[in-house]
């Protein structure tokens, strides 16, 4: 019997489901004919970037025919200063997802395994399975010893076996919005063997204001197996440009650099990221708008008597109390795009990104209407 194309793919790839992104507004317009919809589905900054970023982008037009700086000198120099590390500690990525994939490509193989928590960010299983490596999924907290649905570091430690080469930790995690404190996370990193690469994904770092929330970047000099990732896609408002980075000791960065595509971060993204780092006011404003929006959304959800997972990110996952696919669909018809999260094992939940006040209002009104129908 001739094999199908699917059967020719590696086993890991055969078992993969493609990443399901938030529905773009253009698709909603195309498929439903709905105009003026709001998208609260991909944890983007609703303000977009500041004016300095737009000027930096314009300045790049003249060089469009040239390859970007494959070593990202300008951006790495700024990041090195910001984090007080040598430039050799920084790996730029086409989004931080790219850095996560570099880790998988460099350290995983068929026969090895990656550990991550249930309900963790969807890219961890994708990059692991794409290599043909095994996913050791640790059960999350059930609410008795830690925040329900949050990463259980003891369970994650128990899931590390002889084949484990990588541990992925999202702090805070998406789509749960749960976070790990300084002492517990640091003590976990101390306990893990240096033969295992520990990735701490801080995609929402800028949003978190809780006391006891750690900056894992400060531990890099102590742990040769630690990689901390950040992104410009969330609080910095550059999601479309695809730029993120990882920070680790130079020896680990050297390994990641070997599997990196030569020009993985384009010149627009590099210039925009430099400009975004320069505009602290816009970042602070973005964080403030998020805090106020979170309060607005949480108040609104409570007024509707809905359960939600307390979140420190720019999103919140809410138990809609009935088939979330139907609520999602009904919200689309009201011109509001949110994110189904059943693929994350959060049955009954939808994830809502924090938007501008009028967008949050629009969502809350639409949800009230849909739930009353």
Q: At closest approach, how far in Å is the CB of 126 from ligand PLP?
A: 12
Q: Residue with the closest Cβ to ligand PLP?
A: 95
Rounded Cα gap, residues 117 and 132, in angstroms? 19
Tally Cβ neighbours within 10 Å of residue 190. Answer: 10
Q: At closest approach, how far in Å is the CB of 122 from ligand PLP?
A: 9
Rounded Cα gap, residues 122 and 12, in angstroms? 15
Phi-psi region of 102 (alpha: psi -120 to 50; beta: other; left: phi over 0): alpha
Beta carbons of 155 and 146 less than 8 angstroms apart: no
Helical (H) or strand (E) element with 352: strand 349-353
Four-CA torsion 87, 245, 236, 367, nearest 10 degrees? -160
Q: At closest approach, how far in Å is the CB of 266 from ligand PLP?
A: 14
Closer CB to ligand PLP, 175 or 335, in the complex: 175
Closer CB to ligand PLP, 43 or 117, in the complex: 43
Closer CB to ligand PLP, 95 or 237, in the complex: 95
Closer CB to ligand PLP, 95 or 293, in the complex: 95
Q: At closest approach, how far in Å is the CB of 129 from ligand PLP?
A: 17
User: Nearest to residue 326, comparing CAs of 370, 361, 372?
Assistant: 370
Closer CB to ligand PLP, 108 or 228, in the complex: 228
Q: At closest approach, how far in Å is the CB of 227 from ligand PLP?
A: 13
Closer CB to ligand PLP, 201 or 279, in the complex: 201
Q: Which residues bind ligand PLP (CB under 6 A)?
A: 43, 95-97, 121, 170, 174, 201, 203, 231, 233-234, 239, 244
Q: For residue 168, what are the β-bridge partners?
A: 199
User: Nearest to residue 116, comparing CAs of 101, 130, 128, 105?
Assistant: 128
Q: At closest approach, how far in Å is the CB of 201 from ligand PLP?
A: 5
């Amino acid at each position: 019997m001739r094999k199908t194309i699917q059967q020719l793919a590696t086993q890991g790839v055969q078992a993969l489901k493609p990443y399901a992104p938030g529905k773009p507004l253009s698709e909603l317009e195309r498929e439903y004919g709905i105009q003026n919809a709001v998208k609260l589905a991909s944890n983007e900054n609703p303000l977009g970037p500041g004016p300095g970023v737009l000027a930096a982008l314009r300045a790049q037009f003249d060089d469009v025919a040239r390859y970007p700086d494959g070593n990202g000198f300008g951006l790495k120099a700024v990041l090195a200063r910001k984090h007080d590390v040598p430039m050799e500690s920084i790996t730029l990525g086409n989004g931080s997802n790219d850095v996560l994939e570099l880790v998988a490509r460099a350290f995983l193989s068929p026969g090895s395994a990656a550990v991550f928590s249930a309900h963790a960010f969807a890219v961890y299983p994708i990059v692991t399975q794409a290599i043909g490596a095994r996913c050791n999924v640790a059960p999350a907290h059930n609410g008795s010893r830690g925040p329900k649905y949050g990463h259980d570091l003891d369970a994650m430690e128990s899931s590390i076996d002889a084949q484990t080469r990588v541990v992925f930790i999202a702090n805070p995690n998406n789509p749960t919005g749960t976070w790990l404190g300084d002492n517990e996370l640091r003590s976990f990193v101390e306990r893990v063997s240096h033969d295992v690469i520990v990735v701490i994904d801080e995609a929402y770092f800028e949003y978190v204001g809780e006391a006891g929330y750690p900056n894992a970047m400060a531990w890099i000099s102590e742990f040769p197996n630690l990689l901390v990732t950040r992104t410009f896609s969330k609080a910095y408002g550059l999601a479309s440009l695809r730029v993120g980075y990882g920070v680790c000791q130079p020896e680990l960065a050297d390994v990641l650099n070997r599997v990196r595509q030569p020009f993985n971060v384009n010149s627009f993204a590099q210039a925009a990221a430099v400009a975004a780092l320069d505009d602290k006011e816009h970042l602070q404003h973005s964080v403030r708008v998020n805090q106020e929006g979170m309060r607005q959304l949480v108040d609104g959800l409570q007024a509707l008597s809905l359960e939600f997972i307390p979140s420190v990110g720019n999103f919140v996952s809410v138990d809609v109390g009935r088939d979330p696919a139907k609520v999602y669909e009904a919200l689309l018809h009201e011109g509001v795009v949110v994110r189904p999260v059943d693929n994350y094992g959060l049955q009954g939940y939808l994830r809502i990104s924090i938007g501008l006040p009028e967008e949050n209002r629009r969502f809350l009104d639409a949800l009230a209407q849909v739930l009353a129908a």
